[in-house]
Chain A
Amino acid sequence: MAVASARRRPRPVTTMNDALGTMPEGPAAWTRRWIARRLFAIGIVIALVLTVVWATTPVAYFWPGWIFFAVLFPSAMTWSVRLALRAKVRRPLAVHAAVSFVISAALVAIWLLSSHRIFWPIWPMLGLVIVFAAHALFAPSGSTWREKALAERVDVLTRSRRGALDVHVAEMRRVERDLHDGAQARLVSLGMSLGMADELLDSDPAGAHRQLAEARRAAGDALADLRALVKGIMPPVLADRGLAGAVYALVVASPLPVEVTMELPAERLPAPVESAAYFAIAEALTNVIKHSGASFAWVVVMQANGVLSMTVGDDGHGGADPGQGSGLRGIQHRLEAFDGTMQLSSPSGGPTVVTMEVPCELSSPKT
């Protein structure tokens, strides 16, 4: 009921808008528009009237044919071009064909209405066919540059979406396995220890104590596992402080001196971008610490003109190769999911610079 009445209501509003829209035009303009819309019908009516007039006269030559010609030619041209514009592929060629066809038809009509002797329209028609053939043969085959760009974009999106889904599925599988082998197993062991403590309580208090201590250890280990897991999915410091704070926390915990430059807006970045950016920077910094032999690293994070750009560099020995591990490719896939890119420069001998970019419009305007 409610839906039906809600649907019905907008109508009067629309009508009123129409009325308001047409009101200042005045009757003269309205008449002009009415005639313009019915030009074709009016032309046909005039031509028919003239045909009747012709029939009552003894003149043999069918002169009203020219009136029909004048009315039909522009309309035929308009309709056929409109039809051609609806073509899904090779639209310019379709328009060319339509125009050529209507011109040919017009030439034949002129030939019919004038002398019936030699069929001269064959020559201009031949010319039209040759020009059309040339167009069909030499025009860029199939698609315009726009269509090509779109096709390329679809390819990129398909690939990046598959990459992102792969990353996602792998991530979920890892979470499941970590829970299964970690926290869940520890909770089972905790339950067993408690059960045994319960049994031993009266007969062997010392044994019960040992089981309780065991249970407590299992609970602590389960918590530690869950903590590590959460950190890998959604680091609490990122939720607390946003990208700038979280990057700063990485730097505070880094064994290497890291110079940080951040130019980020006060408001938070969109959460998915923020998370992808954080993990990208974290992986790049981990690589510096693990692989580079560097004595110094630097991080630049900036958001400007709708792009978040991140650079992580080190003065180590270089030679980074995404083919040798999973971290750098992981970054690439994560960023591609947001239309982002990663570029790596790591000549043998160093230095290594990882440059990453993600398009990033701010989620909420400042209030």
Chain B
Amino acid sequence: MRAVIAEDLALLRDGLIRLLTAHDVEVVAAVGDGPSIVGALLDHRPDVAVVDVRLPPTFTNEGLLAAIEARKRLPGLPVVVLSQYVEPLYARELLSDRGGGLGYLLKDRVMDVGTFVESVRRVAAGGTVMDPEVVSQLFEKRARDEQIGRLTPREREVLALVAEGRSNAAVADHLVVSEKAVSKHIANIFLKLDLAPSEDDNRRVMAVLAYLDS
């Protein structure tokens, strides 16, 4: 798998390169500012881009805007956006093209190396990965939602994990239950939230995130 990364802090850039390389991801280019991102992506056409939100020259949300722009130029280009903080508004902007192949994660997540590399692979394969922090903020926003109020605590747990972009198998693993039990929970959740059931993982995540963010 080939990756392009955009990160201005040498400390983190080197760490990321080492981490990805150790897990058989070839880093074909590493850029350190916003304006170089789109060009590097057009040149290298990687399997995945890992982009920091705050980059020179403005040190604001340069990386986020570049990621959105790059996906306009190369539709479906898998991008993992990393940041020191997450903002539901930015998640909404990233998801607005509904293309899949998108990750939005706190930088903290690189500490859990196995899960992080797995997330990068899932995004490269066209999946959606949303940071648990974004999901919990969306849950807070829906705290008074009657439909969500009808979910059992376990169903709410499953809903959060699905919103993070996990597959049935991963959810089952996390909750230490059978995959069949997870499928049943998911069917119930979709029923209670009036969502159209879908076998397609990505469409399912999108539906759940759209529901939470409405």
- Where the two chains meet, the residues of A that have a C-beta atom closer than 8 Å to any C-beta of B are 216, 219-220, 223-224, 227, 230-231, 236-237, 239-241, 245, 248-249, 252-255
Contact = CB atoms under 8 A, between A and B. Distances in A.
Contact of B61 (A231, A240, A248, A255): A240
B84 A248 contact: no
Contact of B84 (A216, A236, A249, A255): A236
B158 to A, nearest CB: 22
B89 A237 contact: yes
B211 interface: no
B88 A252 contact: yes
B88 A223 contact: no
A258 to B, nearest CB: 11
Contacts of A231: 85
Nearest to A255: B141
B140 A255 contact: yes
B87 A237 contact: yes
B85 A255 contact: no
A216 B111 contact: yes
Contacts of B107: 223
Contact of B85 (A220, A227, A252): A227
Interface residue range, chain B: 20 to 34
Given A254-B141, A255-B142, A255-B144, A249 B85 contact: no
A240 B93 CA distance: 14
Interface of B: 54, 60-61, 84-85, 87-90, 92, 106-108, 111-112, 137, 140-144, 213
User: Nearest 8 A-B pairs (CB), nearest first?
Assistant: A249-B89, A240-B60, A240-B61, A252-B89, A223-B108, A255-B141, A253-B88, A227-B85
A305 B108 CA distance: 45
B92 A255 contact: no
Contacts of A219: 108, 111
Contacts of A253: 88-89, 137, 140-141
Contacts of A255: 140-144
B92 A220 contact: no
Contacts of A216: 111-112
Contact of A241 (B61, B88, B213): B61
Contacts of B85: 227, 230-231, 236
Contacts of B89: 237, 245, 248-249, 252-253
B143 A220 contact: no
A248 B90 CA distance: 11
Contacts of B143: 255
Contacts of B92: 252
Contacts of A237: 87, 89-90
Contacts of A227: 84-85
Contacts of B144: 255
A290 to B, nearest CB: 12
A254 B143 CA distance: 10
Nearest to A254: B141
A254 B106 CA distance: 21
25 contacts: A219-B108, A220-B111, A223-B106, A223-B108, A227-B84, A230-B85, A236-B54, A236-B84, A236-B85, A237-B89, A237-B90, A239-B60, A240-B60, A240-B61, A248-B89, A249-B87, A252-B213, A253-B89, A253-B137, A253-B140, A253-B141, A254-B141, A255-B141, A255-B142, A255-B144
Given A223-B108, A227-B84, A255-B143, 16 more contacts: A216-B112, A223-B107, A224-B108, A227-B85, A230-B85, A236-B84, A236-B85, A237-B90, A245-B89, A249-B87, A252-B92, A252-B213, A253-B140, A255-B140, A255-B141, A255-B142
A3 to B, nearest CB: 36
Contacts of B106: 223
A314 to B, nearest CB: 14
Contacts of B108: 219-220, 223-224
Nearest to A230: B85
Contacts of A236: 54, 84-85, 87
